[in-house]
Amino acid sequence: MREFTVGKNDAGQRADRFISKAVPNLPNGKMYKFIREKKIKLNGKRCEISTRLCEGDILRLYIPDEFFGETSEEEKNLDDIPTEVTIIYEDENILLAYKPTGLVVHEDSENTKDTLINRITKLLIERGEYDPSAENSFAPALCNRLDRNTEGIVVCAKNAESLRALNGFIRERKLKKKYLCAVLGSPRKNEGRIKTYLEKVEAENTVYVREKKTPNSKTAITDYRVLKTKGGLSLLEVGLVTGRTHQIRVHLAYIGCPILGDGKYDREAENRRYKRKSQCLCAYSLGFDIPRDGPLGYLAGRTFKAPTPRFVEEMFGETD
């Protein structure tokens, strides 16, 4: 038998989701079978799959020991991970980190261990702000993603309450993200909106523009503004109305202004000409358009910015 006391970071989630995190070696099929057989109990009574857990609840699992791990996976895997993280803003609830080009946010298909989330997790462990052995199901979590070759601001939640709040803000589009990018050529208008349908082909990890709706496409809307032009290049500020895979890269290529250095949607000859091996794209601004009387309300109205990307200085010199 193994007993779990629901902590503050565990409260509010469904019982089955808590169990799947707290006992990762327990297959879902087995878990639901054990719940039906009353081998998993909540506060001494039958456990319902969809019950929302409260702080202080006690879950008892009368199941074989083989499903329980011996040590924390976080502690096992982080020994050789560096703790080098550029922090733009931090408080007891969130951390805004600057992700450099080349660093992945999570472990990828190549099982890369040196990731942004692993660096942040190890940093918080070393500070004593996060103890994996004291948590049943929660670990620090990133709330947005950036491609390996995109730099900029990534949001990390340091506790479960903040994670729920941030995920809600993202769904409601209350986190306002802006990007800087260097593109080939210049759009016909100095500012505008691009609206198409995008369809992702998983086997190719490539996104295609569809001007008409198809069964597998989704609406994509991107706003842009030209900040500066120089030597056949333009510096754009871009805002996302929707957040589709590769949306900025695909949309700018669609209007004839691909992002410089983008090996997938760019013109390779131009990349070689400008000696760019990674895309000139940075998530440089994050604004909190959130209620002042809700979770994280102290951040309402605040905007945080990343350092000026190196490609901006290299390609355009000083900018206003």
Residue span of the structural domain in which 63 resides: 2-67
Could you say which of 120, 150, 171 is where a domain stops?
A: 171
CA angle 158, 159, 164 (to 5 degrees): 110
Identity of the amino acid at 145: R
Could you report the average pLDDT of every consecutive run of 10 residues in the chain (320 residues)? 89 90 88 92 91 92 81 60 95 97 84 91 94 87 92 96 94 94 95 95 90 92 96 94 93 95 82 84 97 96 95 80
Say if CB 105 and CB 47 are below 8 A apart: no
Query: pLDDT digit string (tens) for 222-243?
Result: 999 999 999 899 999 999 999 8
The residue from 10, 147, 262, 266 that is catalytic is: 147
Total structural domains within the chain: 3
Could you say which of 171, 205, 221 is where a domain stops?
A: 171
Query: pLDDT digit string (tens) for 30-81?
Result: 999 999 999 999 999 999 988 999 999 999 999 988 888 654 444 456 888 9
On whether both 61 and 96 belong to a single domain, the answer is no
Report the CATH number at residue 40: 3.10.290.10
User: What's residue 73's pLDDT?
Assistant: 47
User: What's residue 72's pLDDT?
Assistant: 45
User: What's residue 180's pLDDT?
Assistant: 97
On whether both 301 and 278 belong to a single domain, the answer is yes
Q: Tell me the C-alpha distance between 217 and 242, whole Å.
A: 13
On whether both 158 and 216 belong to a single domain, the answer is no
Could you say which of 171, 192, 226 is where a domain stops?
A: 171
Query: pLDDT digit string (tens) for 64-74?
Result: 888 886 544 44
On whether both 95 and 44 belong to a single domain, the answer is no
Q: CA dihedral in degrees (199, 169, 9, 134; nearest 10)? A: 60
- One DSSP character per residue, 45-65 reads EEPPTTPBP-TT-EEEE-S-G
On whether both 166 and 179 belong to a single domain, the answer is no
Report the CATH number at residue 238: 3.30.2350.10
On whether both 226 and 110 belong to a single domain, the answer is no
User: What's residue 213's pLDDT?
Assistant: 92
On whether both 27 and 102 belong to a single domain, the answer is no
Query: pLDDT digit string (tens) for 298-318?
Result: 999 999 999 999 999 988 986
Residue 16 known to be catalytic: no
User: What's residue 223's pLDDT?
Assistant: 97
Quote the pTM value: 0.83
User: What's residue 319's pLDDT?
Assistant: 59
On whether both 78 and 160 belong to a single domain, the answer is yes
On whether both 184 and 158 belong to a single domain, the answer is no
On whether both 54 and 78 belong to a single domain, the answer is no
Say if CB 63 and CB 13 are below 8 A apart: no
261 to each of 150, 197, 209, 231, 272, how far by Cα in Å? 11, 24, 20, 16, 8
On whether both 277 and 188 belong to a single domain, the answer is yes
Say if CB 262 and CB 279 are below 8 A apart: yes
**Residue 286 β-bridge partners:** 177, 304
On whether both 47 and 128 belong to a single domain, the answer is no
